[in-house]
Chain A
Amino acid sequence: MSDSREDDFAGHALAQDSDDHRWAFGTGFTDALEGVDTTVPKGVDAEALAAYCLMLGDDALILSHRLQQWMTRAPELEEETAIGNIALDLLGQARMLLARAGKADGTDRDEDAFAFWREENEFRNVRLVERVDADFAEMLARLLVFSTWRLAQFDALRSSRDPVLAAIAAKGVKELTYHRDYAARWVVRLGDGTDKSHRRMQAAMDVVWPLVDELFRSHPVEAALPGTAVEGSTLRTGVDVVIDTVLATATLERPVAAALAGVRGRYGRDGLHTEAFGYILAEMQSMARAHPGATW
């Protein structure tokens, strides 16, 4: 191999002497936590930690997928780039969190096993991330709520007793700060824009609102992880302050809407999902399931 070829990265990936086959539909060739000490600290409930990491990982995985559906459909190239970058950050967070779950529960399942081979009722994401965006305003309304909430959550998790979770959170905080600013600026621009953009931005906030309450429900898994997890209910005040500031600047009303009910006390975190979820899961999983273990 000559030196010029040595600098050719594509050449490396295709080099015949490489024994590094990529799994065609996933990431099975790398471990997002390779070399990271994944020992569960003493006194931390490993089962609960795994369940908690799945919750946070699934939130990011599914919203990332929904955002990816905007590729080739965004109103401007710059916005498409922004949405794609945000989706990529969330996918990266999901990869590490799912890998962390597989290490914590002792099964050593990798991220792909979780993403492609679980059934609908095994996913632990909140229902906010499931719905299809009807327009650009709905994408922004959800992203504003989600990134504000997740930023508050990750900011608190920086001091988690699990050092892996704390490290993932500290990294994510920087990314989510950009996501929140992006969504907030657009909500202000559209809300405080023309009559039409104001009306559509308000409608988008109204549509998303019934799914917001669920974000602040505390879950038994969180209660089983004192000092390691963050209880959803503790995040409400801080998130409200930010969202109310954005809505006021955008001349939008804070929606008044009844929360989407659970079923017999079960919500997204318990594996109960909305109709939209089956479709997005089918799209995400069908290829991997049609050709299990395929490589190229």
Chain B
Amino acid sequence: MIRSGPAWDIAAAVPDPELPMVTLADLGILRDVRQDGDAVTVTITPTYSGCPAMREISQDLRHRLQRAGFADVRIETELSPPWTSDWITAAGRTKLNAAGIAPPPAAGPRSAGPIPLTLTVPVRTVACPRCGSVRTAVTSQFSATACKALYRCQDCREPFEYVKEI
């Protein structure tokens, strides 16, 4: 995989349509860029199966690469291995936090055996992106986009979003 070169640099800098403070590379959804003369094939992966941003992402990649002079732009989807929040880069995590969205801890590899049922809301240490307090509580495991949960800080009382670990 080539993680450099003009085509990579353009694709990597495309902002995510739903989280515009981070780029496709920051989120780890840009998987590969293959450049052959003025032809480019970009491989992306969805965060969740129903991610509605995939179309906007494809369109934006195509526009920007064509504007940079690549005549033949192909956008491909890669499903396996499935996206994990562990692919969000350190830079991406810093940018998310600065924008008021708490980044996820490591999801890690899945343990062997049956997938455990979790009947209580998992207790995670999530620091409030505004005041830094760790006295925070989940208000919903789902939020405005598929990849986030809703939290509230019990010290500064502000609600905030949190990118779920998957």
Contacts and interface: CB of A to CB of B under 8 A. Distances in A.
B45 to A, nearest CB: 9
Which bracket fits the contact residues of B?
35 or more
A96 B50 CA distance: 9
A43 to B, nearest CB: 20
B58 A30 contact: yes
A115 interface: no
B120 A35 contact: no
Interface in B116-153: 117-121, 139-144, 146, 150
A13 interface: yes
A288 interface: no
Contacts of A174: 82, 166
A20 to B, nearest CB: 7
A82 B141 contact: yes
A82 B142 contact: yes
Given A30-B55, A174-B166, A35 B43 contact: yes
Contacts of A233: none
Contact of A181 (B54, B118, B140): B118
B64 A6 contact: yes
B119 A185 contact: yes
Contacts of A33: 77, 79
Interface stretch (A128-136, A164-172, A204-212): A164-172
Given A89-B48, A92-B46, A164 B142 contact: no
B49 A172 contact: yes
B51 interface: yes
A34 B77 contact: yes
B17 interface: yes
A12 B15 CA distance: 13
Nearest to A31: B77
Nearest to B84: A174
B157 interface: no
Contacts of A95: 49-50
B79 A36 contact: yes
B76 A249 contact: no
Nearest to A77: B140
B78 A151 contact: no
B49 A78 contact: no
B43 A85 contact: no
Interface in A162-186: 163-164, 166-168, 170-175, 177-178, 180-182, 184-185
A90 interface: yes
B86 interface: no
A281 interface: no
B59 A167 contact: no
A238 interface: yes
A44 interface: no
B9 interface: no
A93 interface: yes
Nearest to B144: A81
Contact of A13 (B56, B82, B139): B56
Given A81-B140, A89-B48, A184-B117, 6 more contacts: A6-B63, A9-B60, A36-B79, A85-B146, A88-B146, A171-B82
Interface of A: 1, 6-7, 9, 12-13, 18, 20, 29-30, 32-36, 78-79, 81-82, 84-86, 88-93, 95-96, 151, 155, 163-164, 166-168, 170-175, 177-178, 180-182, 184-185, 188, 238, 242, 245-246, 249
A-B CB proximity, top 8 nearest: A35-B76, A92-B50, A92-B49, A167-B80, A167-B79, A78-B140, A88-B50, A82-B142
